[in-house]
Chains A and B, each alone.
Chain A
């Protein structure tokens, strides 16, 4: 993916999220205005409970804001319905979660090709792309293994392969390295950064890990559901 000119990928306008599970409202997000540009490699940091996960969930359409708007690739996703949102996520967003990313009963290849199956990509092309993507994350030859037969770091790499295989607009990762030892976590981040360089795909991830923060090109700090600092290196 060649990126000649950078453009706005995500724009949030006064995004507020109030959780009210048992009558006690919790303001998880308090009016967040942010713009993410294509090709960014951005870390969202902040203390526990500051709203990182909530923010990622809302900009990816997994959750809806209580107030405010979210544009992703020029579309207001905060107003889409179930099917639209599902298809939009499938085509535009790659997810990497902290752990248990993969469906344990599906092989590595099946896990990676699942989204393409949903999108109706032909078998030959699926196979081709899975192979290419596994090579890019350094996992050739594990196509037929089950996730349980891989190490934690390998599983996260498969998750990256799955997230990137359909060439989405943006990759979102909520603490992708939290379950890995620091060496493996570092390697994973290194790889994500390389892929960001090579493909120009936009990466946003949350983290607690100072080493991981160092690798980010933009660092957004949240505190009490608000943007505290926003620095581009």
Chain B
């Protein structure tokens, strides 16, 4: 019985090939769009997380509790030795690096500017941030010169200085609040897409910074890179508890940049919105197509009904036709969706320089294909189509045979 229903459906769809093709291409394009947008969202999410975490943030950071809000110089990480000793043995931690921060003033013969002075460990910092990769002039940190300072292009421009030029940095010391001044020599100039970084950050060796800030061997931040970014989402890992002891707290990138987390969560909703739009396309495409072919075949339906097909059997004929149309549309949509997405997954989409919620996109976005897109969305299209088919199916089921046969003339 199911075989004949399928044959009926298939041959009826072939009866008006053009209409079937137009309807299935319309639905197929909807499906393809859904697949593409999903792939783009994944690509964008990965891109933004990578941009946010790779350029400076890291996957997670440890601070003294309260430091994030107050940025107070004296709020250094507690039990630093214990913490770093443990981190060194942590299986999920790939790299970690210490940092210390203070706001200060940077002066050149030509100009003066506010700056965020950051003390870093050059050897491990390179794994956590992209400062080393972003150097456009000069070098990252040379040998062992404690007077090295690395600044951004914008800051260099404001100060009207270049490589090997001298600057003076002034900061207030921890506790006493006394000013401390040091002279540095520009060893490298970096350029990020994010202009705020180019104009407001200066990097020096951590030892030097600790001296200037008068904080001993203490640091404000440990930035951590996991062996896999996925660990940032695994909140049940003991890691998050272990390092939130001694008055410290460990935060993942999502907690440090809650705005980014929000936009990424929101991008999920755009999928649902797309889904609703697709649903509309399917509903109208299917209902219209089915009704058109239905009215052309009224007499046939009358005959089928007369010779003993039950009302529900009549509905089944329509639903099979809807289902078959869905399968054709899904095939078309999956091929188009795969083709377009694969193409852009190869070429990439240039959104560089666009800032979203504090994260500046620095690389091409590459849509990411996955198997789910070709299971979930086609299944949704199939379901939508069947739902859309219910109305014409019900219409046919409730028709009496005489009505159907009379209406056709």
Contacts and interface: CB of A to CB of B under 8 A. Distances in A.
Contacts of A63: 400, 402
Interface in A186-215: none
B100 to A, nearest CB: 79
A103 B311 contact: no
A97 B303 contact: yes
A83 interface: yes
A103 B303 contact: yes
A91 interface: yes
A62 B8 contact: no
A115 interface: yes
Interface string B270-293: 000000000000000000000000
Contact of A162 (B12, B15, B307): B307
A226 interface: no
B305 interface: yes
A101 B302 CA distance: 10
A100 B308 CA distance: 17
Interface residues of B, number: 25
Contacts of B7: 105-106, 110
B308 A91 contact: yes
Contacts of B307: 89-90, 95, 114-115, 118, 162
Contacts of B353: none
A71 B72 CA distance: 98
A2 to B, nearest CB: 25
Interface centre among A62, A90, A102 (most CB of B within 10 A): A62
Contacts of B17: none
A100 B313 contact: no
B303 to A, nearest CB: 6
A117 B308 contact: no
Interface in A114-153: 114-115, 117-120
B310 interface: yes
A110 B300 contact: no
Contacts of A87: 308, 310
B300 A118 contact: no
B300 A104 contact: yes
Interface string A77-117: 00000110011011100010100111111100010001101
Contacts of A154: none
B4 A86 contact: no
A73 interface: no
B173 to A, nearest CB: 90
A89 B400 CA distance: 13
Contacts of B309: 86, 90, 118
Nearest to B311: A82
Interface in B377-409: 400-402, 405
A115 B4 contact: no
A10 B310 CA distance: 23
B306 A106 contact: no
Contacts of B1: 117-118, 120
A27 interface: no
A228 B300 CA distance: 34
A57 B308 CA distance: 14
B190 interface: no
Interface in A34-78: 57, 60, 62-63
A103 B308 contact: no
B300 A100 contact: yes
Interface string B292-305: 00000001100111
A95 B306 contact: yes
Interface centre among B14, B305, B307 (most CB of A within 10 A): B307
A114 B310 contact: no
B11 interface: yes
B85 to A, nearest CB: 78
Contacts of B304: 103, 114
B310 A83 contact: yes
B294 to A, nearest CB: 14
B18 to A, nearest CB: 17
Interface of B: 1, 4, 7-8, 11-12, 14-15, 299-300, 303-313, 400-402, 405
**Pairs A-B, 4 closest by C-beta atoms:** A90-B308, A105-B11, A86-B310, A89-B308
11 contacts: A82-B310, A83-B312, A86-B313, A89-B307, A97-B303, A106-B11, A110-B4, A114-B4, A114-B307, A117-B4, A118-B1
Given A86-B305, A118-B1, 11 more contacts: A62-B306, A89-B306, A97-B306, A100-B299, A101-B303, A103-B304, A105-B14, A106-B11, A114-B4, A115-B307, A162-B307
